[in-house]
Amino acid sequence: MYSITYNNFTLTNDSNHTIEVLDGISGVDVRNSEDFITGADGGNIWEQKLGMRVITIQGIIFTSTDTTSTDFSAYYALRATVAKCFVLNPTSNVLTVTKSDGTTSTATAKVYAIPEFKETAGDAGECIYTVVLKIENPYWQDSSTVSGSVGVTTVGGMPIPAPVPMPIGGTTNTITVINAGDYAVYPTILITGQITNPSVTNITTGATFNLGMTVTSGQTITTQRDTKGLYITSGGVSYFQYLNGDLFTIPVGTSVIAFSGTATDVSALMSISFTQAYTSL
């Protein structure tokens, strides 16, 4: 079966709780852009996107004490703990699901409805609980990331426009990464100086971008994309204006990533990391 951790609380089958229903772990809403008005407004007819994932958790809370006792303080404390952990504004929104084989998957989730507790007359010290959460990004993610780094030792020269940009008189170093998930994902890329006009290319797909700037020695530029937008920052300052091209995704399978630039020294480094995404646990 499963155990669920949210807001520093783990819900599992133990002496005080059961998980009877865990709905929404595989199916997810598919939204079709099929209306004529969508096309008239410039949208893509029949475009398909995945909607939010709704997770419903249902089970039983019960006390291990004698149900004939008039002291139900332990039961009420158990119920209050569940209510407190699945509040509308939790301190942490990471939902972690652990399967019976010990593997874990995570997602950023928010409570969609106040937890409900149903008590039945005669069942003292016991109730059926229901918790509903929504996941904005419909994909489940590994608890660990795929990562790697590569340096470049190009000195001098100037870049040549080409499918795979490579500066004259220098070398382009590569790293191979594997996305074993179900979908293409955006990586987080860190570029550490010193390097001028750093360029990152997915040789496998031909996608590429570069930054028209000098990343100074000791400086790190972070490029990343999430559900809220695209970011290129260093020390909290945006460097988006220096972007040429588009930040690319890492498709399913093997990708060879190239790193190049001009006026570099041995400290120049490109680090890439991403979390594999799945449609079901």
Tell me if 265 sits within 8 A of 214, measured CB to CB.
Answer: no
Four-residue CA torsion sign, 41, 47, 49, 51:
positive
In DSSP notation, the chain reads: --EEEETTEEE-SSSSEEEEEEESSS---EEEE--HHHHHTT--TTEEEE--EEEEEEEEEE-SS-TT-S--HHHHHHHHHHHHHT-SS-S--EEEEE-TTS-EEEEEEEEEEEEEEE--TT-TTEEEEEEEEEESS--EEESS-EEEEEE----S-----SSS---TTS--EEEEEEE-SSS-BPPEEEEEBSEEEEEEEETTT--EEEESSEE-BT-EEEEEEETTEEEEEETTEE-GGGEEE-PPPB-SEEEEEEEEEES--TT-EEEEEE--EES--
**Domain stops at, among 141, 158, 183:** 141
By residue range, what is the domain housing residue 239? Answer: 146-278
**What are 132-152's pLDDT values in tens digits?**
999 888 888 887 889 999 997
The values of phi and psi at residue 41, to 5°, are: -85, 5
**Tens digits of per-residue pLDDT, 88-126?**
877 778 999 999 899 899 998 999 889 999 988 766 688
Residues 24 and 78 in one domain: yes
Domain boundary among 85, 107, 141: 141
Per-residue pLDDT of the chain in tens (281 residues, 90 and over written 9): 799 999 999 999 998 999 999 998 887 766 666 555 555 555 565 666 677 789 999 999 988 655 555 568 888 999 999 999 998 877 778 999 999 899 899 998 999 889 999 988 766 688 999 999 998 888 888 878 899 999 975 434 333 333 333 333 334 589 999 999 998 999 999 999 899 999 999 999 999 999 999 999 999 999 998 777 889 999 999 999 999 998 999 999 999 999 999 877 888 999 999 999 998 88
Cβ-based neighbours of 40, under 8 Å, separated by 6 or more: none
Give the chain's domain count: 2
Shared-domain flag, residues 20 and 123: yes
Same-domain pairing of 211 and 162:
yes
Let me know: does 268 contact 192? Beta carbons within 8 Å: yes
User: Domain end: 102, 122, 141, which one?
Assistant: 141
